[in-house]
């Protein structure tokens, strides 16, 4: 039976990611564990500087047990590298750790997680963030952004710049890489891919700044605002 508390009773009090991952494998905090193949916990360096948060595992992720191993993951990695974010500096995860789907013939079609599942699964994301303590959290797509920033968050209005939140030292919301793949027109796919990489460049410049140390960070702030402003210029507004 899923518990009313969601995942909380299954989350051990530890900052060790491997222990968290092992515990998540037997989570029954909501009904999604029943039909999915396995828990898809986050993956990446325990000392990652950036945590990227997607929505939930897809079909491939459910089969392989790792996040972003399907086509959206390919777009994501390409955009990160193009923006100058090394893959060994990132940790990939999702707001919901089990695949939710609808069967259509032989195909399993992704179904958006509901609020109950998002709330139930949240303790896992919190535990991952506590364990890693990244400099930057990047949400991918509207579901992840709203799970973190609240349901009134408007992705296309507020993406691409750092936002104040109690959930992370710095949070930036960007598109989901699968939005790039879903756009029917080639020109739109290019445009969305450019937005994604522009947003990742904002993150890359923040990482450069952070690695120059706290003291210099204070002086660097105006410069990073300019970069953020540039990121916003790329936003289609209105
Ligand atoms: N889409 C997501 O949001 N997460 C994954 O892990 C894969 C695809
Ligand atoms: Fe637990 Fe999250 Fe899976 Fe629900 S989706 S069973 S809360 S790990």
DSSP assignment of 145-207, as one string? HHHHH-TT--HHHHTTSEE--TTSSSEEEE--HHHHHH-SSHHHHHHHHHHHHHHHHHHHHHH
Q: What angle do CA 102, 53, 222 make, to 5 degrees?
A: 150
- Residue 137: helix, strand or coil by DSSP? strand
Cα(38) to ligand 2 centroid in Å equals 10
147-200 pLDDT tens trace: 999 999 999 999 999 998 887 789 999 999 999 999 999 999 999 999 999 999
**pLDDT (tens digit, 9 = 90+) per residue, 206-220?**
999 888 764 554 555
Distance, CA of 22 to chain centre? 21
20 is written with which tokens? 């968290």
pLDDT exceeds cutoff 80 at 223:
no
Q: Would you put residue 44 in left (φ > 0), alpha (ψ -120 to 50) or beta? A: left
Check if the beta carbon of residue 52 is closer than 8 Å to that of residue 91. Answer: yes
| Torsional sign, CA 213, 216, 221, 224 | negative
* Confidence (pLDDT) at 1: 54
Establish whether residue 42 lines the binding site of ligand 1, counting it when its CB lies within 6 angstroms of any ligand atom.
no
Choice from 28, 58, 67 to test ligand 2 binding pocket (greatest atom count within 8 A of CB): 28
pLDDT tens per residue across span 67-87: 999 999 999 999 999 999 999
179 alpha carbon – ligand 2 mean position (Å): 24
Joined together, the tokens standing for residue 8 give 């909380």
- Residue 177 Cα to ligand 1 middle (Å): 9
What does the pLDDT look like over 49-68, one tens digit per residue? 999 999 999 999 999 999 99
In sequence order, which residues have a C-beta less than 8 Å from that of residue 36 and are 6 or more positions away? Answer: 57, 62, 98, 99, 100, 101
Cβ-contact 46, 88 below 8 angstroms: no
Residue 166 is predicted with a pLDDT of 81
Mean of the per-residue pLDDT values of the chain:
89
Ramachandran area for residue 133 (φ above 0: left; ψ -120 to 50: alpha; else beta): left
- The reported pLDDT for the residue numbered 5 is 86
Ligand nearest to the CA of 75: 1
Ligand 2 pocket test: which of 30, 67, 123 has the largest number of ligand atoms within 8 Å of its C-beta?
30
Question: Is the C-beta atom of 113 inside 6 A of ligand 1?
Answer: no
Residue found under tokens 């992720």: 61
Arithmetic mean of pLDDT, 5-23? 97
User: Does the pLDDT of residue 224 top 80, yes or no?
Assistant: no
The proportion of the chain whose per-residue pLDDT surpasses 90, expressed as a percent, equals 82
Q: Which of 42-51, 110-119, 220-229 has the lowest mean pLDDT?
A: 220-229
Confidence tier at 234 by pLDDT (50, 70, 90): very low
235 pLDDT band, cuts 50/70/90, is very low
Contact 9, 26 (CB under 8 A): no
Task: Provide, rounded to the nearest whole percent, the portion of the chain with pLDDT above 70.
Answer: 87
């Amino acid at each position: 039976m899923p518990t009313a508390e969601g995942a909380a009773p299954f989350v051990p009090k530890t900052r060790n990611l491997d222990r968290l991952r092992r515990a998540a494998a037997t989570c029954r905090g909501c009904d999604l564990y029943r039909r999915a193949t396995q828990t898809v916990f986050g993956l990446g360096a325990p000392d990652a500087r950036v945590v990227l948060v997607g929505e939930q595992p897809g079909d491939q992720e459910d089969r392989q047990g790792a996040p972003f191993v399907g086509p959206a993951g390919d777009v994501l990695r390409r955009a990160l590298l193009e923006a100058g974010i090394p893959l060994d500096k990132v940790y990939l995860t999702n707001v919901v750790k089990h695949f939710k789907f609808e069967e259509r013939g032989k195909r399993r079609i992704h179904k958006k997680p509901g609020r109950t599942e998002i709330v139930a699964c949240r303790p896992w994301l919190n535990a991952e963030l506590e364990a890693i303590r990244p400099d930057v959290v990047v949400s991918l797509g509207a579901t992840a952004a709203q799970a973190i920033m609240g349901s009134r968050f408007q992705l296309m209005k507020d993406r691409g710049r750092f936002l104040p939140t109690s959930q992370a030292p710095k949070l930036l919301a960007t598109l989901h890489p699968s939005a790039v793949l879903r756009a029917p027109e080639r020109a739109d796919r290019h445009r969305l891919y450019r937005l994604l990489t522009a947003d990742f460049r904002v993150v890359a410049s923040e990482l450069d700044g952070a690695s120059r140390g706290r003291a210099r960070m204070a002086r660097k702030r105006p410069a990073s605002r300019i970069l953020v402003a540039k990121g916003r210029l790329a936003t289609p507004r209105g």
